[in-house]
Structure 1
Amino acid sequence: MSEARPSFEAHANFEARCYAESWPLRTAFVISRGARTEARVVVVEVSAAGFTGIGECTPYPRYGESVESVIAEISSVLPALREGLTREQLQHALPAGAARNAVDCALADWERRQSGIADSGPEWLPTVQTLVIADPDAMGEAARAAADRGVTVLKLKLDRQQVLERVAAVRAAAPECQLVIDANEAWAWEGLPALCEALAEQGVAMLEQPLPAGEDEPLASFPHPLPICADESCHTRADLPRLAGRYDMLNIKLDKTGGIREALALAETAKAQGFELMLGCMLCTSRAIRAAWPLGQFARFVDLDGPTWLAKDADPLRFEGGRVYWT
């Protein structure tokens, strides 16, 4: 999981800029926090020596971010970037989050292009396909359609309502698919152990973030009949000490870690401590998926289907048969 030594600072007379984009979705993306109809992203470009690196982030209101706040954060370091701010220095110049991610990934992309080294990593990665919240019949139909396209792992977005009914409908519609569940912090402690038992009996392979991040202490008080994955509870390596015993798996997203540099370090440290990994993404374009690619080979579950929700993509990767291909 090593990185190339930063070299961006060795070049003078370069430029750096950031801007916002809005990408309409092909259909509403419904989770326990509400529905979205567009992906709003912030893009960073850094240029020097005839090469341009691009990074993208998705500001997330759950973490107190907006497009405006992220652009302000990035703008605060643009003068330093133009003076040769290194990726190591960036880790201290901005906090972990979407803004630092876009800058770090832009610098990493520039390094890759400037080095002339061919892209490394697998030609393709498996990816789950997300099913958003709907009534059981609708989720079952979506599951059947995904399975018919060759998808083998389905990720069910669920709130507190009709949990077992929705899972049963999806299981009946796509019996050969592996199922994972993402509650996005919407569930309560009361009844959770029994619900986990019921989900395990239905063959659910993993449960992601059932409780709010600030209220997840009870997860350490009962044996997990299926793996429980931290998402909102895990951002960087600093979170690891309090996650042991509560979670079996961590969902790593570049917009949480603040870029690929910290994401790789988190992955290496977490695996050494016995956590399994999931690689996730926000609603984003394929530019963000390319940035996360080096992490895919280390994850038990890969959830990189964000661009499949867009009506139109940027620099699109190919999604086919439950896989995403580097193109």
Structure 2
Amino acid sequence: MSWTHEFKEALKNNQDLKDFFGCDFPQVNYPVFIPRVFAAKILEAGPGSPLWNEFLPHIDENKDDGRLDPIGDKVHAKNNQLIHRYENRVLFTPTTVCPVLCRYCFRKNELSAKDEIFDQKFQEALSYLKANSEVNEVIFTGGDPFILSNEKLATYIQEFSEIETVKYLRFHTRTPVILPSRIEEGLIAILQSSAHLFKRSMVMIHVNHVSELTDDVREAILLLNENNIEVFSQSVLLKGVNDSTEALYDLFTALADIKVKPYYLHHSDEARGAMNFYVPLEEGRKIFAPLHNRLPGWALPQYIIDIPGGHGKTPAFNPESFEFSGNLITKNGEKVKII
């Protein structure tokens, strides 16, 4: 079965969920989308499992606590598909479409509303990059860039390669985990071409629990490796999914075994509709700290937190104390009080 067919046949509403899983789910304020091949993995894992908690609707999504824009995308949005938060790199948002709708997504409110940060203004984006020569990296985000057609993806890559100051390309994607069949010959060829057009071209897969790394997913990731495509990972610390030292150890070890470098462990964001996944920072520090003793540096990601309001990422682990003072240091070295 082709990946496009799997995508079209996904579960898209509560009736689909009931028919597939054999039980009722609450009506929530956010849409549902789960490919059936992946839904079968959730069904096998069962209620209360990390997969079940990550992807199936929960009544707490209807609570109005949390932030609509928890990391301040709109503060740095340029209204041309670009978010320019850091001096030398930009986020590029070519699509609102994802291979699955994660219940904890920090961008779930923007995606549901199809926020203007996703407006298709590609020529404006190119003009912005040409006028801002300090930007040397473009990071594809969304949505999920690998849901784009091969032709569309290749066009974007070629256009960016013609901007002399853009040297690095990065793709943030959930697709190899959710739709591993997407990692096919055509996409591999495009990613290989990207690696030749730029100084470095990297794939950053999003994976939160070792149970997501089923045999077909491992094979897809190994295929990327075998074709000399650099693969890193990013994960989010989530209550009820991976909020234990052991769960994170198992995940990062499994990733290292298939030649994926764990890059980021994000502290959970205070996103509206996802606060049931939130882990207090002091608890997160206590979960993460033992990993320094159990994992080598090359298998240990950076544990970071996105400071609310658009201040950017900063280390979340404090080697001096587990207690949190309420202050964080921004990317510009300023102290910001967040609680």
Q: TM-score range by the shorter chain?
A: 0.3 to 0.5
Q: Which has the higher contact order (CA 8 A, sep 6+)?
A: 1
TM-score, normalising length: structure 1? 0.45
